[in-house]
């Protein structure tokens, strides 16, 4: 039996890098604001730029997966991420930062969907959600590294040098991914079909978009992970600075706790669909608790720091149900449409991540970076989750389904 360990370790490595890149703005936001002269709105757009780029290239990434495989696609795009990291290190103003984060977003566009694409081939459907939860949970080592460790790096050698080092690590991971990852299990485990033409791939994409039950999954996926990461990855740090005046390491410690909570949440949600025999119940339960926690943050005027930290940490735990939605979306498609299917589902998440951080930036700037501004932001995020869940109520529950 061929070991899946090298595959899992390298999937964790590429997703760790993606997680670090996507949340790194939060803990060093005040330093970026100071050094680059950013407004709250520009900081919001810098957070969204990464995800807008992810969204923009999801269709070609899906086509590349089905045409060339995840191994080649992830390797090639990782060098784009490296170039973006170097640009961040050399950024001089908001335009540089926003543009560089967009380039990094393109470079990370295949990372998380390569996990779904490859795990759906290397693991049985009944074990898919659990496998995804373990990889996605471990990937949050990148989130943790972007908390206290990044704050320490920024305070000692500077955030610019930190991103130069990250560019070197990205190249190393890309080389290992190309050298050790394979797109399918050994011959005989999964039949390998002929390579499709681009016309056939485009036809398959139309088939994906007309799949029954896709719409409600996309609606929930638009808000689920995007809401959590808007808090953890973009605005959690500025909130702790503007409202509670925490310094870099203090902010990093809180974000570290939030990141650990997210990891534990992902691990907890992983087996829940099998225990409850329903992915839909798991998602709706997680959404309901997340809305309640955001509502409390919205109605409490500047709660004590310990209360705010407890609420933020609990929110990151309970809002970690996005992995279950990913597994539900993957189960809608046959293996021949796997690449286009999972990247189409991911487009909803990327679009949400493009809209929500920037939208919060307008709220925060409009109300003067005050406690009231953040309370309104929490209320808006809660309303978005309610909207997504209301559409998701019409989804098909497929906790034990496997693609045809």
The answer to the question of residue 189 being in a domain is: no
pLDDT of residue 194: 53
pLDDT of residue 404: 37
CA dihedral 110, 116, 119, 121 (to 10 degrees): -90
Instruction: Classify residue 246 by its DSSP letter.
Output: -
CA dist., res. 129 & res. 123, Å (int): 10
Q: Residue 193: is its pLDDT beyond 60? A: no
Of 35-44, 158-167, 212-221, 394-403, the range with the lowest mean pLDDT is: 394-403
Rg of the chain over Cα atoms, rounded to whole angstroms, equals 20
- Alpha-carbon distance values, 361 to 44, 203, 301, 381, 400 (Å): 5, 39, 20, 12, 40
How many domains would you assign to the chain? 1
What value does the mean pLDDT take over residues 81-104?
96
The answer to the question of residue 157 being in a domain is: yes
pLDDT of residue 394: 82
What is the average pLDDT value for the chain, to the nearest integer? 87
pLDDT of residue 138: 86
pLDDT of residue 84: 97
The answer to the question of residue 397 being in a domain is: no
Q: Taken in order 82, 339, 133, 385, is the CA torsion positive or negative?
A: positive
CATH number at residue 65: 1.20.1250.20
Q: Residue 105: is its pLDDT beyond 90? A: yes
The answer to the question of residue 188 being in a domain is: no
Residues in the chain: 404
CA dist., res. 367 & res. 193, Å (int): 56
Q: Residue 188: is its pLDDT beyond 60? A: no
Q: Residue 189: is its pLDDT beyond 50? A: no
If one compares 303 and 26, the residue with the highest pLDDT of the two is 303
The answer to the question of residue 400 being in a domain is: no
What value does the mean pLDDT take over residues 101-106?
95
The answer to the question of residue 343 being in a domain is: yes
Question: Which residues touch 255 (CB under 8 Å, ≥6 apart)?
Answer: 23, 26, 27, 146, 147, 148, 232, 236, 237, 240
Q: 195: pLDDT confidence band, cut at 50, 70 and 90?
A: low
Give residue 107's domain range. 5-182+197-392
Segments in 270-370 forming alpha helices (H): 272-276, 279-299, 305-318, 322-330, 338-366
The answer to the question of residue 121 being in a domain is: yes
The contacts found for 125-130 with CB under 8 angstroms, 24 or more apart, are: 125/331, 125/400, 125/401, 125/402, 125/403, 126/274, 126/400, 126/402, 128/327, 128/330, 128/331, 129/270, 129/271, 129/273, 129/274, 129/279, 129/323, 129/324, 129/327, 130/270, 130/271, 130/274
What value does the mean pLDDT take over residues 362-371?
91
Q: pLDDT tens for residues 302-322?
A: 999 999 999 999 999 999 998
pLDDT of residue 11: 93
Q: Residue 401: is its pLDDT beyond 80? A: no
What value does the mean pLDDT take over residues 197-220?
81
pLDDT of residue 2: 54
- Provide the percentage of residues in the chain whose pLDDT is more than 70: 93
Model-level pTM? 0.73
Q: Residue 204: is its pLDDT beyond 50? A: yes
- Provide the percentage of residues in the chain whose pLDDT is more than 90: 46
What value does the mean pLDDT take over residues 278-292?
92
The answer to the question of residue 402 being in a domain is: no
Contact predicate 146/26, CB 8 Å: yes
Q: pLDDT tens for residues 146-156?
A: 888 888 998 89
Q: Residue 191: is its pLDDT beyond 50? A: no
Segments in 123-158 forming alpha helices (H): 128-139, 141-145, 148-156
């Amino acid at each position: 039996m061929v070991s899946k360990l090298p595959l899992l370790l390298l999937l964790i490595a590429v997703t760790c890098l993606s997680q670090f890149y996507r949340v790194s703005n939060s803990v060093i936001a005040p330093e970026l604001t100071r050094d680059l002269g950013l407004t709250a709105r520009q900081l919001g757009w810098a957070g969204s730029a990464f995800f807008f780029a992810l969204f923009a290239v999801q269709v070609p990434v899906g086509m590349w997966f089905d045409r060339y495989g995840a191994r080649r696609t992830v390797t090639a795009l990782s060098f784009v991420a490296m170039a973006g990291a170097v640009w961040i290190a050399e950024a001089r103003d908001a335009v540089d930062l926003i543009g560089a984060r967009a380039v990094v977003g393109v470079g990370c566009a295949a990372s998380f969907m390569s996990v779904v694409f490859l795990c759906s081939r290397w693991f049985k459907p009944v074990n898919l959600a659990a496998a995804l939860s373990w990889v996605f949970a471990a990937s949050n080592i990148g989130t943790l590294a972007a908390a206290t460790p990044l704050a320490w790096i920024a305070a000692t050698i500077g955030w610019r040098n930190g991103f130069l080092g990250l560019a070197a690590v990205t190249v190393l991971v890309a080389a290992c991914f190309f050298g050790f990852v394979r797109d399918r299990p050994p011959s005989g485990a999964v039949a390998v079909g002929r390579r499709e033409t681009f016309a056939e791939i485009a036809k398959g994409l139309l088939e994906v978009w007309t799949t029954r039950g896709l719409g409600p999954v996309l609606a929930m996926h638009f808000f689920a992970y995007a809401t959590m990461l808007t808090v953890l990855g973009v605005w959690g740090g500025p909130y702790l600075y503007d409202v509670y005046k925490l310094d870099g390491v203090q902010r990093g410690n809180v974000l570290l706790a939030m990141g650990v909570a997210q990891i534990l949440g992902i691990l907890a949600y992983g087996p829940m669909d099998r225990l409850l025999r329903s992915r839909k119940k798991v998602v709706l339960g997680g959404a309901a608790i997340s809305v309640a926690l955001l509502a409390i943050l919205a109605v409490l005027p500047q709660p004590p720091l310990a209360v705010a930290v407890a609420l933020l940490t609990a929110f990151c735990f309970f809002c970690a149900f996005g992995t279950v939605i990913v597994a539900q979306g993957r189960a809608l498609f046959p293996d021949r449409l796997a690449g286009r299917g999972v990247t189409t589902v991911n487009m909803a998440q990327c679009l949400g991540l493009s809209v929500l951080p920037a939208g919060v930036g307008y709220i925060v700037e409009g109300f003067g970076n005050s406690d009231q501004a953040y309370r309104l932001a929490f209320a808006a995020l809660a309303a978005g989750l309610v909207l997504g869940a209301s559409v998701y109520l019409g989804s098909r529950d497929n906790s034990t389904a496997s693609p045809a």
